Chains A and B, each alone.
Chain A
Amino acid sequence: MISPSSQTLARSSRLGWIAVSIGVSAVVAAAGAGLLVGPADIDVWGVLLAIADTLPFIEIDHGLTEVEHTVLFEIRFPRVVLGGLVGAILAVAGAAYQGVFRNPLADPYLLGVAAGAGLGATVAFATSGDSGFIAPLAFAGGLVAVVVTYSLGRSVGGRTTTSLILAGVAVAAFATAIQTYLLQRNVETLREVYSWILGRLVTVGWGEVMTLLPYVVVASAVLLGTRRLLDVLGIGDEEASALGLNVGRVRLVVVIAATLATAAAVSVSGLIGFVGIIIPHTVRIFFGWSYRVIVPLSLLFGAAFLMFADVAARTIVSPAELPIGVVTAFFGAPFFVLVLRTMRRSG
């Protein structure tokens, strides 16, 4: 029985400017921390002035040495941007998968991307010393795994999403088996593969950023454009179809966009876990149920979260680095539990 006092108002499906401002502030703060913190002790004012100096029509004497300038613009800046892009896309892809499969545990790696990419990267490590092959092979492995998952799922189950998710489980198990076999045969690559699996944001100039950027832009545009349809899918395939929605096509477009971008992110950063689950759920808890709100805010908070996580990864055991996937899980898991507990108690 519901007492009148507990009859709360529904959360809005509109994206409020307060939420957006908080998200943008988080991104700015995280990017600032990422630019200011690092083993090379660069003066805060120098960083701010040097950034201002890059703006058009502004010329300021920032007082940084050439080395400091290079560290800032060729090492820290691309790394911060890469962290933001990877975090944004993992979070938004997670939100999209959760919406399209109506499964709160769906993450960007659901359909076998991770295992396929892991296999691709392992093949690269095992067969070639050239690290230039890692990203392309990881990307190809991830995509092949998802295509196999999708065709298997469709051939078995027709319209249900459960068969698709189960096909993902089977494909992941198969890819992992081959990967384990390859690792057994090439023990010397174990360490490298392991470090890749745990996730890392290692950049060489702006190359990785430029590789990833087009995927992130296209996928974000598609997922932002279709976010209203994710709410329609919330009432189930049957009712959504009866409302004239081509459910199969919407699901396919969203899955393609989210998967391509995830595979691209994984190929440059390895398997950074947890972002795709905790960010959308935290956003959902604070800002409401609607994907019209969750998708854009996940983009912002995902970027901010991973940039902060990278600062932690670089500083906690400085001058060494923690794998960023360890940081996201180590801080993300307790944080998420805290959020869940607080909200359950007050709500």
Chain B
Amino acid sequence: MIVWESVEVTYGSIRVLGPVSLEVQSGEWLGLIGPNGSGKSTMLKAALGLVEHRGRVSLGNGNRRPGLDIAWMPQRPQMPEEMGMDDYVMLGRTPHIGYLSSEGKHDHDTVRLALKKLNLAELANRPLGTLSGGESQRAVLARALAQEAHILLLDEPTASLDVGHAIDVLEVVDELRKLEGLTVVTAVHDLTLAGRFADRLVLLADGLIQADGPPHSVLTEENLKSHYGSGIRVVHDEDGPTVIPTRRSND
């Protein structure tokens, strides 16, 4: 469980987020949606203490311990070109390894498992600089999984993946969530994909929560048009809402 209580972030005199209050239950998958610059990434960073903020982020039962409780997949990760994939994923074990000690057997096992879950085992010895966009993105997710945290904050986890790989990756996350009771918060641009996987969507715009609820109640043409502009159609069927971009001139 993770709770944002009146969290507010300002850069100088510009308010980029909040105040927002949001509670995500253990085992829940919450999708953060919203146009560019609406505050999605900032909200995730506030949870990790990476940006100064007013208000409080807590885990319900105590204070957050970034790294141990919360794993984060950044939108634009820095990936040293020469570093091997296995060493990169091992960085996810950092919160578990003392400052002056080095990794043990459990750490190696965890890394191997994370690589396997994301179909990266064969690329374990490859330098990060030789990976494709999709492989890199899966490597970052593997690093986050290796942290064995119970809360996953994923910032655009499928941004450079084709639709097949995107579904694969989100299925892996969903499987882990069900198996290990992980709490998942994702910021996603692909609205349809967000609606397919998340239990609940929160629509952010101008740093404030505009809508909050199950996908079919948030992904409505009315909501989307007022925050993304015209040119959006939503079709509801048994798979859930599907968001279809259309030409603005047709509206």
Contact = CB atoms under 8 A, between A and B. Distances in A.
Interface of A: 2, 6-13, 225-226, 228-229, 231-232, 234-236, 238-245, 250, 288-290
27 contacts: A7-B130, A8-B130, A10-B83, A10-B84, A13-B83, A13-B84, A225-B100, A226-B100, A228-B97, A229-B99, A231-B83, A234-B80, A234-B83, A235-B91, A239-B72, A239-B74, A239-B77, A239-B78, A242-B48, A242-B50, A242-B66, A243-B66, A243-B91, A243-B94, A244-B65, A244-B95, A289-B82
A239 B147 CA distance: 13
* Most central of B85, B92, B127 by chain A CB within 10 Å: B127
Contacts, number: 88
Given A238-B50, A245-B67, 12 more contacts: A9-B126, A10-B83, A225-B100, A228-B97, A229-B99, A231-B87, A234-B78, A235-B80, A238-B45, A242-B48, A244-B67, A289-B80
Contact of A10 (B66, B77, B95, B127): B127
Q: Classify the secondary structure of B's interface with A.
A: loop
Contacts of A242: 48, 50, 66-67, 70, 72, 74
A250 B80 CA distance: 19
B79 interface: yes
Interface of B: 45, 48-50, 65-68, 70, 72, 74, 77-80, 82-87, 91-92, 94-95, 97, 99-100, 102, 125-128, 130, 147
Contacts of B125: 9-10
- The 9 A-B pairs of least Cβ separation, nearest first, read A244-B67, A10-B84, A244-B95, A289-B82, A243-B94, A10-B127, A236-B78, A242-B72, A9-B125
Contacts of A238: 45, 50, 74
A313 B65 CA distance: 55
B78 A235 contact: yes
A42 B60 CA distance: 77
B48 A241 contact: yes
Nearest to B79: A235
Contact of A245 (B70, B79, B94): B94
A227 to B, nearest CB: 10
B87 A13 contact: yes
Nearest to A224: B100
Nearest to A234: B80
Contacts of A239: 72, 74, 77-78
Given A8-B127, A231-B87, A232-B94, A243 B78 contact: no
B67 A226 contact: no
Contacts of A6: 130
B67 A243 contact: yes
Contacts of B50: 238, 241-242
A289 B126 CA distance: 13
A240 B78 CA distance: 10
Contact of B94 (A8, A11, A236, A244): A244
A244 B99 CA distance: 11
Which of B72, B82, B126 gathers most chain A CB within 10 Å?
B82
Contacts of A232: 91, 94
Given A229-B99, A239-B74, A242-B50, A2 B91 contact: no
| Main DSSP-derived SS at the A contact region | loop
Which residue, of A10, A236, A241, A245, has the highest number of chain B Cβ atoms within 10 A? A10
Contacts of A228: 97, 102
Contacts of B92: 243
Nearest to B103: A228
Contacts of B99: 226, 229, 250
Contacts of A290: 83, 87
Contacts of B74: 238-239, 242
Contacts of B130: 2, 6-8
Contacts of A13: 83-84, 87
Contacts of A241: 48-50, 66
Nearest to B67: A244
A180 B78 CA distance: 43
A257 to B, nearest CB: 13
Nearest to B124: A10
Contact of A11 (B48, B77, B82, B95): B82
A243 to B, nearest CB: 4
A1 B240 CA distance: 38
Contacts of B94: 232, 240, 243-245
A10 B82 contact: yes
Contacts of B126: 7, 9-10
Contacts of A229: 99
A284 to B, nearest CB: 9
Given A7-B130, A289-B80, A243 B102 contact: no
